[in-house]
Structure 1
């Protein structure tokens, strides 16, 4: 049986699923729906009406009114492998209603799990990803001393310094989000990457805090020096965005606030902390080039590498084509960008 689950039904399924992810919660669909996407959900249910498989799908218009791109970020969940065909058929039907020319699926990370055969399901490897495919994962299941011991010496020293500089670490209330968004603008300009508009972060805070996220700020003598937006579903937390001031950088607030984010995740029972996004290069190339590069995600890799994590690449992006002609035009457009 196929149906459209309510937000409550869908979230209950995501939160109990071992691969549940923040980007599949209904609130993420609500957030993206305010910024150029539409969101829909589809579920495969058993005879009792319980959700056993499903996906939250985002839709974004393609140029020249050529329909939409359907997109499933870090989702597409089943409870048994034989449910995949029914799920993809249900996704196709929903995508058709939204005029999708193709479906882009980013399944996420597979560590100890069986990796599905994406090609056998009808997908082809995509020429374009939406989320950064490469990340650094920290094991935070051990004691704080063990977590610190895995970091490099410079990062440990800076964390300890940040805890001695009369910095107060606070979880932001809605009225303080604007201070974080100001810092995001500063950080984006300094490290040469794009940031969202202020209202995006305000809505993100409204939708996710306190149930699934925290915005942690570092404050010194009344001034906000750094902040991290940390999310969590299940046993994994994600550090999705962070910012720091250009002043008083010697106080190492960006290290202290990140350490507070790790402690927040650990207190929630998380075992893994995802540093969310580094350059899409093999680890040997990352290590060879990070001191020379500062463009894009290279600017933050030097910071993230010191926290003692493991470089892990996701399964990337995979496309299922519904309209070959429009998909062909999309591939050409990507190639010439």
Structure 2
């Protein structure tokens, strides 16, 4: 499993298994609830963290159950998952008719799908994402080109697929291998080229690549809006739930009682907005 340490400005240092919405699972099997809890507390203590987030994948219910038995609370969140136990041709035939037509139109109009191989490729994709972020609200995180390019250099590398029209990058999608699954982690498209349907063509390309590598599923990630859920469902993806567990520092009974008494006898004071951090 992998962790990342982050310290928001004015906030509490915390860690994550895995970082930025990626998922983590013990590589040597699932230990007992007590051992799992102790390992998590050891990470908190060793790095001086206030809390730890653990993202658990939709099909790792056994791990989620052990974390629950260890006493950790979780928040489920919706995703969509496409099972890949058949050929790409059969999967394509199950797409919604309008989606199949758009993908065919994308090809006929000359939209070409290729893989990013150079740092300049990544910069072009980041430029598309930056343009979209200016047009659309809700883009809180803009990942640097160095991070994305680094993901392409891993021993089990991520794949950044690009859609080009007349040699110009107009969209991209980042797929990360995750054991026997593939995670559609990031994507952006230039709205000026929406008539070329590049996003649908990119997802279809990602599905074809996932089938070729023998993956069992394609995890589409969080499904927060009706339009996003409908887009994913048009490929045949079905609703599922991931979990995010929050693991805080282990405190003694004396510490918890002391904090409760202080809250009881101290007057309530307004919280400074500087201390409210969205993570």
Interval of TM-score (by shorter of Structure 1 and Structure 2):
0.7 to 0.9
Which residues of structure 2 form unaligned runs of 5+?
264-270
Q: Output the CA distance in 1 between the equivalents of 2:187 and 2:196.
A: 16
What is the correspondence of 1:18-33 to structure 2 with a 5 Å cutoff?
24=1
Where does residue 165 of structure 1 map in the other structure? 109
In structure 2, the CA distance between the partners of 1:197 and 1:171, relative to structure 1 (3 Å rule), is same
Q: Check if 1:136 corresponds to 2:80.
A: yes
Q: Output the CA distance in 2 between the equivalents of 1:206 and 1:278.
A: 26
How far does residue 105 in structure 1 lie from its aligned partner after superposition?
A: 2.4
Q: Secondary structure at the match of 1:142?
A: coil
Q: Secondary structure at the match of 1:182?
A: helix
Q: Determine which of 66, 73, 77 is the counterpart of 1:124.
A: 73
Where does residue 181 of structure 2 map in the other structure? 236
* Contact 1:212-1:233 at 8 Å conserved across structures: no
Q: Determine which of 181, 193, 217 is the counterpart of 2:138.
A: 193
How far does residue 194 in structure 1 lie from its aligned partner after superposition?
A: 1.3
Higher alpha-carbon Rg: 2
Q: Secondary structure at the match of 1:243?
A: strand
Q: Output the CA distance in 1 between the equivalents of 2:62 and 2:94.
A: 25
* Contact 1:101-1:322 at 8 Å conserved across structures: no
Q: Determine which of 175, 187, 199 is the counterpart of 2:120.
A: 175
* Contact 2:56-2:63 at 8 Å conserved across structures: no
Q: Secondary structure at the match of 2:100?
A: helix
* Contact 1:78-1:84 at 8 Å conserved across structures: no
> What CA deviation, in whole Å up to 9, does each residue of 1:247-267 have, x standing for no partner?
232111221122111122222
How far does residue 79 in structure 1 lie from its aligned partner after superposition?
A: 4.2
* Contact 1:225-1:254 at 8 Å conserved across structures: no
Where does residue 202 of structure 1 map in the other structure? 146
In structure 2, the CA distance between the partners of 1:184 and 1:302, relative to structure 1 (3 Å rule), is farther
Q: Output the CA distance in 2 between the equivalents of 1:204 and 1:336.
A: 23
In structure 2, the CA distance between the partners of 1:252 and 1:213, relative to structure 1 (3 Å rule), is same
Q: Output the CA distance in 2 between the equivalents of 1:260 and 1:267.
A: 11
What is the correspondence of 1:252-271 to structure 2 with a 5 Å cutoff?
252-271=197-216
Q: Secondary structure at the match of 1:314?
A: strand
Q: What is the total number of aligned residue pairs between the two structures? A: 255
How far does residue 121 in structure 1 lie from its aligned partner after superposition?
A: 0.5
> What CA deviation, in whole Å up to 9, does each residue of 1:202-228 have, x standing for no partner?
332233347321111111112112111
Q: Check if 1:226 corresponds to 2:158.
A: no
How far does residue 140 in structure 1 lie from its aligned partner after superposition?
A: 2.2
TM-score by length of 2: 0.77
Where does residue 243 of structure 2 map in the other structure? 315
How far does residue 113 in structure 1 lie from its aligned partner after superposition?
A: 5.1
Where does residue 306 of structure 1 map in the other structure? 234
Q: Check if 1:102 corresponds to 2:51.
A: yes
Q: Secondary structure at the match of 2:244?
A: coil
In structure 2, the CA distance between the partners of 1:201 and 1:167, relative to structure 1 (3 Å rule), is same
